[in-house]
Structure 1
Amino acid sequence: MAKSNVTSKVFTYNELCAATQNFNHDNQLGEGGYGMVFKGHLENPDQHVAVKQLNRNGFQGNREFLVEVLMLSLLHHPHLVNLVGYCAEGDQRILVYEYMPNGSLEDHLLDISPEKMPLDWNTRMKIALGAAKGLEYLHETADPPVIYRDFKASNILLNEDFDPKLSDFGLAKYLPTGDNTHISTRVMGTYGYCAPEYALTGQLTCKSDVYSFGVVFLEMITGRRVIDKSRPTEEQNLVTWATPLFKDRKKFILMADPLLEGKFPIKGLHQALAVAAMCLQEEAESRPSMSEIVTGLEYLSVNKDDEEEGIPAN
């Protein structure tokens, strides 16, 4: 691995204390299993950043830290979050990213606070397309290919224009080159988003990410969380609820997020649900590739009016 490829800056712990006002809780952006994220400000160059301080919980966190630094130092794409730098001083493990002012897709879709406007249909399609292009780059351009492994709404960050960027590469895996199309690994990821064959056997392929993309895209269309214990039993698992509905076009309209208030093209809804259904097929081989999904979504994310030629709406 050529050293010249690594563009990330090494920060001292003191620099990051200064940037975040000593990791002040007023600057906290979020908290996850990995640690806390703070908004920070760097003097030179003058920029806002997101500073992720990893829990110092030994080996696992350290491995994920190293994977993240290497992956994001070597992978560059408009739909992957940009790693500004890192700090590995003493037992501190801190990652510094570009700041994404609109938070995560989850904040605007599944955890909407009262002052936030729900995302309109076109913004949802734009976010889906950008996120799909990020996965397409990992699977089909990165060499060796990368399986992202933790595609979910909270890992899709949004800039000021609601352009999406994938974040959190601690679980990502390089796919060995040669005849290997899968890796066998301990099942990691988030319950509900994992492909059935991966959850059952630990066999990870690019098609595992395609399944996870289908889950998130379905969340974007329906406004429902993949697992929602507050709903009636038969509706708690989004994929289980949606699967029979996919077979009946008359029910498609029932699947649209009520917060869209009916403002979406009917054909667009049908085509979006068709893409989600293809991604969520039980058989991994039957799922499309990310480049096929990007092609489908490029068609969807252009403003089409309902009178145009397309899939008939009956």
Structure 2
Amino acid sequence: MATKVIKAFLMGSIFRRWSKSSKCGGNKTQIEDHRDSAATSDDNSEPLPSESGTACVYWGQLPDGTQIAVKRLRSGSSLNSDKEFAEEAGKMGKMLHKNVMRLRGYCVERDERILVYSYMPNSSLLAHLHGAFSYDNLLDWRKRVRIALGCAEGLAYLHHSANPPMIHGNIKASNILLTDDFQPLYTDYGIAALMKKPALKVKVALGYTAPECSSGEAATLQSDVFSFGILLLELISGRRPTEKVEFSMKQHIVDWAEPLILEGKLDCLVDPKLQGRFVPEELKKLVFAATICAQTSSHSRPSMARVVELLQGVEKNEVASV
């Protein structure tokens, strides 16, 4: 049923509104007003895997064959007014970086709020670490290092170079999409700004949440840095941010990794699926960056600009302290 609803909406009002007035990054989205302008898969009666508490994502296709991901924000998600939503979506459309997913268009129509992105057939980092693609062992060490640096550069762009700067607020493996050549792309950034203020805070995924946010504080640049540190540990180890241990208790990835780091057993952190195929010096870089990012004190965490510098070339004396 959900797919039929979104299909009808795609074939009607969303493309009519885009062709008249929708702008992203200053460029009008040119889509003709045809009743069959887009379609969703009749075989896919369920949303794509990136469904969340505030949105559902569907697959779609444009007349030229371009595949798109259509994010439909839930009507009960304390959405902003038409004007405020359009302003915030316009800001998202101006984000231009190789590691940030570009917003192709948006629609504000009655109670509907829809965002449209390019579709990534290679799915998410979550799928490759823990999901359907994890069994193919496609994430070798070289790709993981590239993903780590790309994620750092993308977040540094959002924090320091975007106009205006943007807090992501919900960094997790499912919000990192991968291109065909395994370049990472941040998605789901800016969603909190599309909600009524101060009604709704986007809930950060379990395990990625910075300690200060767990106590009710709003997301900040530094809480993003903490989440990035957790993401790095997940990328290195192949472990989820929280995993069950004995008697149904859960262990946080920091609590698991910290003793191994203190004992200098960095090789024990590496995902067993890699079968020992990794570069020790690069491992030190990643572990060092993860360690300083995932510190309890927000004031002790580095900026993402500094993290990029570290991953590009960590000073030897700093690495030696890991």
TM-score, normalized by length of structure 2?
0.78
Aligned to 1:51: 70
How far did residue 226 of structure 1 move? 0.5
CA RMSD of aligned residues (A): 3.4
**Cα distance change on mapping 1:161 and 1:93 into 2, 3 Å:** same
Match for 2:273 among 247, 259, 278?
259
How far did residue 230 of structure 1 move? 5.8
Aligned to 1:75: 95
How far did residue 203 of structure 1 move? 4.6
How far did residue 88 of structure 1 move? 2.6
Deviations 1:59-101 (A, max 9, x none): 2487996576233222222111111112333333222101212
Identity of counterpart residues, as a percentage? 37
Partner AA of 2:239 in structure 1: R
**Cα distance change on mapping 1:12 and 1:115 into 2, 3 Å:** farther
Gaps of 5+ in 1: 175-182, 301-307
Aligned to 1:33: 53
Secondary structure of the structure 1 residue equivalent to 2:112: coil
Partner AA of 1:296 in structure 2: L
After superposing the two structures, state which structure 1 stretch, 163-172 or 98-107, moved more: 163-172
Aligned to 2:298: 284
How far did residue 113 of structure 1 move? 4.3
After superposing the two structures, state which structure 1 stretch, 158-167 or 234-243, moved more: 234-243
After superposing the two structures, state which structure 1 stretch, 157-166 or 18-27, moved more: 18-27
**Cα distance change on mapping 1:27 and 1:19 into 2, 3 Å:** farther
Match for 2:166 among 146, 159, 174?
146
Aligned to 2:142: 122
Count of residue pairs brought into register by the alignment? 293
Partner AA of 2:207 in structure 1: G
Please show how residues 82-161 of structure 1 align to structure 2 within 5 Å.
Answer: 82-113=102-133, 116-161=136-181
Secondary structure of the structure 1 residue equivalent to 2:242: coil
The answer (yes or no) to whether the contact 2:230–2:290 under 8 Å persists in 1 is yes
TM-score, normalized by length of structure 1?
0.80
Partner AA of 1:144 in structure 2: P
- Tell me if 1:214 matches 2:262: no
The answer (yes or no) to whether the contact 1:10–1:85 under 8 Å persists in 2 is no
How far did residue 223 of structure 1 move? 0.4
**Cα distance change on mapping 1:13 and 1:258 into 2, 3 Å:** farther
Partner AA of 1:294 in structure 2: V
Query: 2: CA distance between counterparts of 1:18 and 1:201?
Result: 44
Secondary structure of the structure 1 residue equivalent to 2:243: coil
**Cα distance change on mapping 1:295 and 1:74 into 2, 3 Å:** same
Deviations 1:35-71 (A, max 9, x none): 4322222125x42211222322252487996576233
How far did residue 13 of structure 1 move? 9.5
The answer (yes or no) to whether the contact 1:7–1:73 under 8 Å persists in 2 is no
- Tell me if 1:296 matches 2:315: no
The answer (yes or no) to whether the contact 1:12–1:87 under 8 Å persists in 2 is no
